[in-house]
Chains A and B, each alone.
Chain A
């Protein structure tokens, strides 16, 4: 860390300072244990042979290990189906969000029409409403449309809910792309759609990728909406499936739940590790005001 370079001289170690650092190390290692214990306990439970929470040893990895819990998960529950459902919803949501949002943002960025200002303002106001505000109504609406217990209803709500904020986001980005670029293409005879598809989208790739990734990861651990709209077990998403696997049956299903949780958490941690540098930048850019 190039950080504290202002500490030029190294201080001589006195007994008092050594005590301070000893205590500091003790605290840091205590925090390490506190952070790791739940994670290691879950990992060890996932590989345990016993099915009950009460039967687990309190220290991780002190019991015979095996893949029994994963077998139970794959054979006795719809875990694989839940995983595929979630994957499907996430993928379609990503594609739909990108398609609808980019073209909307393009029109708001490049066209002049009298309704533009009021529409943009409405989007701004709508993105302030938390998604749960319309929860009850969404339930009734989806029910009335016959889309209850159907992934389509879920996808449409996810995609629609993200339009207001993302339109602003993408439009802001498109505004930075010089108009001369797509106007030149249109002089050469390209239609609006061609110049959007061939010129604007490729240039806006970083932002479009960001949008695609966030709309893909969004549904994975979302709980409220799928719990509300999906009733039958084979149609559940991962979050709901895992929750109901264990809710009220803690003692009998914890180890199986742990196996399922490990399978989800590991990819998340890997993706996080890959993106960590970028993520830290994003977080820091939120903090540092220009």
Chain B
């Protein structure tokens, strides 16, 4: 701990510490009379040593990902992906072991310092009472930690690693073939001049455009309705509010699938209605025309999303302190001035965080794409990359994984999407009560 401000004098007898450096728990066992602790450390090191060959095999597997063996029958060929998962598990175990090892050395040093200060080693009794506490904490934490390790950390590490492999259909799908590390090649493909790069550029641009349009339309729509309904001369405001909230109360997924059918180019009631009224003579391809599909998506999202902002903005407007208005009235402000100088700035100021959160939500609004248009319509670039006109990065990634088995590209996208989302996530969390008030 060289960084400590108060640098401690060196130990008079560092022997036990060196013993623990040599073999975990040795110092505790031989010199410091810390039998239970020492035995635990020693046992851990023994376990790892006995399984050394597993560790070596696992981690070598992660490095090589197996050699292609077309001569073997399918089920005997090396399965790169399984090797990768196992390799990561052993890597995590190894990291845990290293942490334990450092803890062991630190513990030996701490005990030794204690001994040199007081002249005796901490007794077994104090240790046992602290063991009861420790074991409750360890047993209580382990389910959560194991679940997180397996279902959160491992998948994230694995996904990040896939971005640097060629795990994709048709040539690199185990068990028939192996997967290899390819470095930054996938990133280069996306940045280069291929069809992939074109699809990526278009989809990324649409993702940002979509998120902006979707958020702004819903915000403005909600604001206008809230303003209209707060007007004293409008009768039955609660009737309108109850009706307007309905799209927010119905699960979005269901509404989107209903809209998909309403806008159906062939049999959809909206086209049939417009034809009946004589407004159009040919059915409109709401969801199968490149530009029209994008516009339909934003419009349907407005239907879904304006109630949220209407509710929020109404809430903020009703909480504006009345004395502000009274004071401004004395100063001679009329209603127009009051609205533009008091109400609107306050509403804008207080809803900015939610506007930003809504924007980051829309960047990943899988449902609005997948349930309404399915990402379509398709075009030339779609056939290879799978990205349709209305696909955003998120829905494209989903298709790449599930339909096209281009796992490497999907992984690259997930890394890129994360880099975009992370600042929003940090901003979002830094505002929460849990973060502000919680001490670490």
Contact = CB atoms under 8 A, between A and B. Distances in A.
B151 A280 contact: no
Given A28-B234, A141-B85, A113 B414 contact: no
| Residue of B261, B267, B371 with most chain A CB atoms under a 10 A cut-off | B261
Contact of A140 (B143, B158, B435): B158
A31 B234 CA distance: 15
A1 B137 contact: no
B157 to A, nearest CB: 8
A6 B326 contact: yes
Interface in A81-134: 100-101, 103-104, 106-107, 111, 113-114, 116-117, 119-121, 123-124, 126-130, 132-134
Nearest to A192: B136
A7 B147 contact: no
Contacts of B312: 283-284, 287
Interface string B314-357: 01111100100110010000010010000000000011011000
User: Looking at B148, B229, B266, B350, which has the most chain A CB atoms within 10 Å of its CB?
Assistant: B148
Interface stretch (A65-73, A158-166, A177-185, A198-206): A158-166
B144 A56 contact: no
Given A35-B246, A100-B147, A130-B421, A54 B267 contact: yes
A103 B145 CA distance: 12
A252 to B, nearest CB: 10
A80 interface: no
A36 B243 contact: yes
A280 B273 contact: no
B378 to A, nearest CB: 15
A193 interface: yes
B26 interface: no
Interface string B247-266: 11111111101111110101
Scoring A160, A257, A264 by chain B CB atoms within 10 A of each residue's CB, the highest score goes to A160
Interface string A268-288: 110011001000100110111
A41 to B, nearest CB: 6
A232 interface: no
Nearest to B276: A58
A273 to B, nearest CB: 7
A264 B252 CA distance: 12
Interface stretch (B38-46, B199-207, B397-405): B397-405
B244 to A, nearest CB: 6
A234 interface: no
Interface in B412-440: 414, 417-418, 421-422, 425-426, 429, 431-435, 437-440
A141 B147 contact: no
B290 to A, nearest CB: 21
Nearest to A8: B329
B313 to A, nearest CB: 9
B426 A128 contact: yes
A50 to B, nearest CB: 12
B253 A221 contact: yes
B429 A127 contact: yes
Contact of A268 (B250, B318, B354, B425): B250
B148 A58 contact: no
A176 to B, nearest CB: 8
A138 B151 contact: yes
Contacts of A54: 266-267
A78 interface: no
Interface residues of B, number: 114
B115 interface: no
Nearest to A258: B258
A9 to B, nearest CB: 11
B140 interface: yes
A287 B315 CA distance: 9
A151 interface: no
B159 A137 contact: yes
Which of A52, A54, A137 has its CB near the most chain B CB atoms (within 10 A)?
A137
Interface string B341-384: 00000000011011000000000101100110010000000000
A5 B250 contact: no
Given A52-B267, A156-B147, A192-B133, A134 B311 contact: no
Contacts of B315: 280, 283-284, 287
Contacts of A268: 249-251
Interface string B141-177: 1011101101111111111001000000000000000
Contacts of A6: 322, 325-326, 329, 338
Contact of B250 (A58, A113, A129, A265): A265
A56 B269 contact: yes
Interface string B198-242: 000000000000000000000000000100111111100100100
A243 B367 CA distance: 12
Interface string A9-50: 011000000000100110110011011101101100000000
* CB-based closest 4 A-B pairs: A134-B155, A6-B325, A137-B158, A160-B151
18 contacts: A24-B231, A53-B261, A54-B267, A119-B145, A135-B410, A136-B401, A136-B407, A137-B162, A138-B151, A141-B150, A141-B154, A160-B147, A163-B147, A168-B438, A221-B252, A239-B253, A250-B267, A272-B249
Interface of B: 81-82, 85, 103, 133-134, 136-137, 140-141, 143-145, 147-148, 150-159, 162, 225, 228-234, 237, 240, 243-255, 257-262, 264, 266-270, 272-273, 276, 303, 308, 311-312, 315-319, 322, 325-326, 329, 335, 338, 350-351, 353-354, 364, 366-367, 370-371, 374, 394, 397-398, 401-402, 407, 410-411, 414, 417-418, 421-422, 425-426, 429, 431-435, 437-440
